[in-house]
Structure 1
Amino acid sequence: MENEKDDKGAPDIDVVSHMSDTSVPHDQTHRKLKGRHIQLIGIGGTIGTALFVQIGTSLTQGGPGSLFLAFTIWSTFILAINNCLSEMVTWIPISSPFIRFADNFVDPALGFCAGINFFMFEAALVPFEVVAFNLVIQFWTDRIPIAVVITVVLLCYAFLNVFAVAGYGESEFWLAFGKVVLAIGLMCFTFITMVGGNPLHDTYGFRNWDPSKVPGAPFAENIRTGSLGRFLGFLTCLIQASFTIAGPDYVSMTAGEAELPRRTLPRAFHSVYYRLTTFFVLGSLCVGLVVPYSDPALLRALSDVKPGAGSSPYVIAMQRMQIPVLPHIVNALILTSIFSAGNGYVYCASRTLFGLALQEKVPKIFARCSRNGVPIYSVAFTLVFALLSFLQVSNGSAVVLKWLVNLVTATQLLNYAIISFTYLRFYYALKAQGIPRERLPHRSFWQPFCGYYAFTGTFIMAFVGGWTVFLPGKWDTPTFLFSYFMLALAPVLFIFWKFFQKTTFRRAEDVTFFEKEREAVDMYEDTHVQKPPSNAFEKIADLLFA
């Protein structure tokens, strides 16, 4: 792109010529992600099989009322985290921002801990989606060898992520757009059929919430009876929500490659309020409307691990209403949804590793980029980590999915707790140094309350995820290890780096705010010439996601 600048304020360069200089890692990524790319990456990285298929498990354990309430409540925590990130990232739009913020605003040891934790989270989600992709394929046929499916998917991820970042952004935009179509389509399906627009002309409305029609609804008992059982049902749904709902962290990971970040990032963060909340809150409501939580077909599909969309509450509802074509369409869209999510996780994991290399917390080779500004070695290492997908060759897909869900839920919650704590240090550092928040390009509301609220909720929930293993007769060693492995590893990482590097806790008065990086962004935005849309499709997309 003519006259385009990278995030150091210099024109795009052949970064390969700089690979000989290995003394100091350089941020060689290019700012080519448009606002529409960033918004769809934020959506695409969060909407996957958990929202359309796996959510059925929580429905059976907590009922429609608990599911809807849990998703609504957890959305408030995600919005609080969004407030924390948006204020920091829009002012300091750098690569791997919240990891480097933890380093700069709190302690370099926390930055190391946060970076490894977030990399583990994103990297573990790649095999999770690959395993789910194979399950969805089996909705149509089980004749394709598992190893072939895994290999092809990982090669596709490598192909998309090794291209120039603009090419990645464009591919992810259209893949994520399919998720939006699917989510909105299922909401429309729910509304149309609940008012009688189905082959059976059954106006079911809120029947599945009615305890006189569905005993135990809308708040189902789980494991125990009575009020305790209903609370445990709600807790199960809350754990599902904490795994399923995300968004602001994916937006923030694009900061170092965002075109005109101070203009595009506030819009992208603002979209989290109404887009992701709509998808997840209304999505959880719709799931509880289309089928009863005690539906025998749903329970049988989950216990038998029916492949693909076969265990989705929506597909079961479609089959009951004798709608023959829609299940295949839903399965196809879920397939693209899963592929898109995995593609986004490769991007975020590789950029996390890249950010750690910039701070010399991992080998400097991971900071090297290709001519197109892609951290090629970071992408390669992420894909090597994704070979965990082959675990399903010798173990059942359902078992592997359960292990990976337990692992990533704990790491995600720990990551959110670190982000919230980092924001509080940022907030009080500004105050201590007499820097008014009015000077920031974007100020979030209800601060510092949001920081405290998000930190308290995510920190507590991080320890709740594997609670079932402590019940009498429910002990399961793999579940315990995958649920609490990162919670045990995080303090070890922190202590190791603190003693190894002899780091010190940042005093609020001594915190710096990436002055050189902010000046480079200012220079870039002052001189950048934005390229207009090249065709009608880009023009329409830019208008829709402005």
Structure 2
Amino acid sequence: MERGSLTKRLYSLTSKSRQSNPEPLEWEKNEEPFTQLQSEDQTSRTLKDRHIQLIGFGGTIGTALFVQIGSTLTKGGPASLFLAFTIWSTFIMAINNCLSEMVSWIPISSPFVRYADHFVDPALGFCAGVNFFVFEAALIPFEIVAFNVVLKFWTDEIPLAAVICFVLVTYAFLNLFAVKYYGEAEFWLALGKVILAIGLICFTFITMVGGNPHRDAYGFRYWKPSNVPGAPFAEFIKEGSLGRFLGFLACLIQASFTIAGPDYVAMTAGEARKPRQVLPKAFNSVFYRLTTFFVLGSLSVGIVVPYNDPDLLNAISNAHPGAGASPYVIAMQHMGIKVLPHIVNALVLTAVYSAGNSYVYCASRTLYGLALEGKMPRFLTRCTGRGVPIYCVGITLAISAMAFLQLSNNAAVVLNWFVNLVTASQLLNYATVAFTYTRFYAALKRQGISRDSLPHKSFWQPYSAYYALAGTFTMAFVGGYTVFLPGNWNIPSFLFSYTMIGIYPILFMGWKMIHRTKWRSLEEIDFFESERADIDRYERDFTE
């Protein structure tokens, strides 16, 4: 029997049974009740509230916050770093406002990709989906290799091929067998990230007031020009005010690629239990994550170590493995603390693994969403009995096998080029989300649907969408600005920074011309009525 027919039959039988017997049926008492009613989308709603909350944390916090941020500190100084991360957090909050309102009302698989299709133009949904899939899939082998690099903080005796095989096999186990295993694993891995982030912020506060082996209450010493020449705004590339502005710009570019979160929460929408209750809380918590981990984290980095510290500069230039280049580890070594660097490296290891695991999940669900919309072969919509899109996960893991290219140094360079090639993709996706929301907002208004009737209403709309669209679209072009400075022109660097910006409109126009798609009129947008009806029935009758 087809799954759609089975769904309707179960729903019919349940309704009749409840009229004569108010007690829950046996299949409803199960820990994993039948939780998906859509005839095409066969994923299962098995992700719980705590899973989604921590997946949001896990997607937000990455190695860039603990290690790579040190390189940015050397370019802009502590004040530029803090201001840049604070300012960019406001853009991510605006993106969060857009996603939270749409996703809470229409919690479907691969949501923002399919919203672009239904609210704007099928061609935009196609290029947004391909762009996001390539971005996520390309980062998986990068994180696998980073996992090996972090291991080298302790030993380089473990063969690279063995590390890659171990990571790929465990990713396959967590993503293929059941979503609940992915959610449970990501819960504990993300918990490690949260502990690390909070621990480092606490380490900063305790040591800056004198709680260190030297009993040195250093406070904001490294922000003062009298102690650190050039602080708190460092010069980058040029001297004077222009150099300080370029330093701030370098920090803002790093922030635009480091800070994330709402997109990872959104990708769980199609597999979340009680989505209209759970998702608004997860989106609302993004504000606290941004404030705690990125704003305070960027402030802490500039406190514990000076931006021109010789050991930090040496660790970055020599590419010290793992947490060896982390500003926090440098500070711990300066203070004579011997155990904490190993703990930091261990938790950074879990952060790297968790990031790759999240990329496998998001990439496979994006591919699945494209298949549901008919933009990829229909066989990709095939799911296992537990609701896992098996072919989508398989293709994603096959692409992840590119990590084996790292066995060759030359291939490693090529792979890094490929990763750099798609770095603008995240900003393009955010710009697409913001523009899609403007259409969503306008369609609601045109059709007379009050936003007060939605399960969640975000604030400062539609201005949040305009603000997010302007910021993310602009930064997509600013990311490779250094190639345009006198004496810095480099054709490969130009291509790596701007190729995806060129490919994006080509994908859009190509799909539009081949399939003759039409721009959705505001009156015709149906807001996924059949899918929402399924979710209404699910939340009314099938939740525990």
* TM superposition score category, shorter chain reference: over 0.9
Q: For residue 387 of structure 1, what is the aligned residue in structure 2?
A: 401
Tell me whether 1:92 sits opposite 2:92 in the alignment.
no
Q: For residue 337 of structure 1, what is the aligned residue in structure 2?
A: 351
Residue 166 of structure 1: how far off its partner (Å): 1.1
Paired residues for 1:139-288 under 5 Å: 139-288=153-302
Q: For residue 431 of structure 1, what is the aligned residue in structure 2?
A: 445
Alignment-mate amino acid for residue 361 of structure 2 = Y
Residue 371 of structure 1: how far off its partner (Å): 1.4
Q: For residue 109 of structure 1, what is the aligned residue in structure 2?
A: 123
Tell me whether 1:53 sits opposite 2:75 in the alignment.
no
Moved more, 108-117 or 508-517: 508-517
Q: For residue 379 of structure 2, what is the aligned residue in structure 1?
A: 365
| Aligned 8 A contact 1:41 1:173 in 2 | yes
1:510 counterpart SS class: coil
CA distance in 1, matches of 2:199, 2:418: 29
Residue 420 of structure 1: how far off its partner (Å): 0.1
Residue 264 of structure 1: how far off its partner (Å): 0.2
Q: For residue 14 of structure 1, what is the aligned residue in structure 2?
A: none
Q: For residue 363 of structure 2, what is the aligned residue in structure 1?
A: 349
CA distance in 2, matches of 1:193, 1:400: 42
Q: For residue 126 of structure 1, what is the aligned residue in structure 2?
A: 140
Tell me whether 1:28 sits opposite 2:28 in the alignment.
no
Moved more, 52-61 or 407-416: 407-416
Alignment-mate amino acid for residue 370 of structure 1 = T
Q: Residues 403 and 277 from structure 1, CA distance in 2 versus in 1: closer, same or farther, beyond 3 angstroms?
A: farther
Alignment-mate amino acid for residue 184 of structure 1 = I
Residue 72 of structure 1: how far off its partner (Å): 0.2
Q: For residue 319 of structure 1, what is the aligned residue in structure 2?
A: 333
Alignment-mate amino acid for residue 243 of structure 1 = F
Alignment-mate amino acid for residue 191 of structure 1 = F
| Match among 13, 26, 37 for residue 8 of structure 1 | 37
Q: Deviations over 1:230-261 (max 9, x none)?
A: 01000100010011000000000000000000
Residue 507 of structure 1: how far off its partner (Å): 1.1
Q: For residue 81 of structure 1, what is the aligned residue in structure 2?
A: 95
Q: For residue 442 of structure 1, what is the aligned residue in structure 2?
A: 456
Tell me whether 1:495 sits opposite 2:524 in the alignment.
no
Alignment-mate amino acid for residue 436 of structure 1 = S
Alignment-mate amino acid for residue 339 of structure 2 = V
Residue 399 of structure 1: how far off its partner (Å): 5.2
Alignment-mate amino acid for residue 146 of structure 2 = A
Alignment-mate amino acid for residue 40 of structure 1 = L
| Match among 42, 50, 55 for residue 41 of structure 1 | 55
Q: Residues 241 and 190 from structure 1, CA distance in 2 versus in 1: closer, same or farther, beyond 3 angstroms?
A: same
CA distance in 2, matches of 1:489, 1:368: 29
Q: Deviations over 1:482-536 (max 9, x none)?
A: 2212111111110111011110001111111100000100000011242xxxxxx
Consecutive unaligned residues of structure 1, counting only runs of 5 or more, are 10-24, 531-546
CA distance in 2, matches of 1:130, 1:98: 27
CA distance in 1, matches of 2:217, 2:411: 37
CA distance in 2, matches of 1:474, 1:170: 47
| Match among 418, 424, 430 for residue 416 of structure 1 | 430
| Aligned 8 A contact 1:64 1:217 in 2 | yes
Alignment-mate amino acid for residue 295 of structure 1 = D
Q: Deviations over 1:109-129 (max 9, x none)?
A: 000011001111111221221
Q: For residue 471 of structure 2, what is the aligned residue in structure 1?
A: 457
CA distance in 1, matches of 2:372, 2:125: 12
Moved more, 42-51 or 260-269: 42-51
Alignment-mate amino acid for residue 542 of structure 2 = H
| Aligned 8 A contact 1:403 1:479 in 2 | no
2:527 counterpart SS class: coil
Residue 480 of structure 1: how far off its partner (Å): 2.4
Q: For residue 515 of structure 1, what is the aligned residue in structure 2?
A: 529
Q: Residues 399 and 319 from structure 1, CA distance in 2 versus in 1: closer, same or farther, beyond 3 angstroms?
A: farther
| Aligned 8 A contact 1:128 1:404 in 2 | no
Paired residues for 1:393-412 under 5 Å: 393-395=407-409, 403=417, 406-412=420-426
Q: For residue 18 of structure 2, what is the aligned residue in structure 1?
A: none
| Aligned 8 A contact 2:127 2:504 in 1 | yes
CA distance in 2, matches of 1:269, 1:396: 42
Residue 405 of structure 1: how far off its partner (Å): 5.6
Alignment-mate amino acid for residue 178 of structure 1 = G
2:423 counterpart SS class: helix
CA distance in 2, matches of 1:424, 1:514: 17
| Aligned 8 A contact 2:405 2:412 in 1 | no
2:437 counterpart SS class: helix
Residue 396 of structure 1: how far off its partner (Å): 7.4
Alignment-mate amino acid for residue 35 of structure 2 = D
Q: Deviations over 1:7-32 (max 9, x none)?
A: 326xxxxxxxxxxxxxxx82110001
Alignment-mate amino acid for residue 448 of structure 2 = G
CA distance in 2, matches of 1:151, 1:480: 34
Q: Deviations over 1:128-159 (max 9, x none)?
A: 21121111011111222222222221111111
Residue 471 of structure 1: how far off its partner (Å): 2.3
CA distance in 2, matches of 1:348, 1:110: 19
CA distance in 2, matches of 1:51, 1:407: 21
Moved more, 175-184 or 383-392: 383-392
Q: How many residues align?
A: 515
| Aligned 8 A contact 1:29 1:373 in 2 | yes
| Aligned 8 A contact 2:116 2:122 in 1 | yes
Residue 401 of structure 1: how far off its partner (Å): 8.1
CA distance in 1, matches of 2:36, 2:385: 15
Residue 372 of structure 1: how far off its partner (Å): 1.2
Q: Residues 109 and 415 from structure 1, CA distance in 2 versus in 1: closer, same or farther, beyond 3 angstroms?
A: same
Paired residues for 1:528-539 under 5 Å: 528-530=542-544
CA distance in 2, matches of 1:155, 1:528: 34
| Aligned 8 A contact 2:108 2:270 in 1 | yes
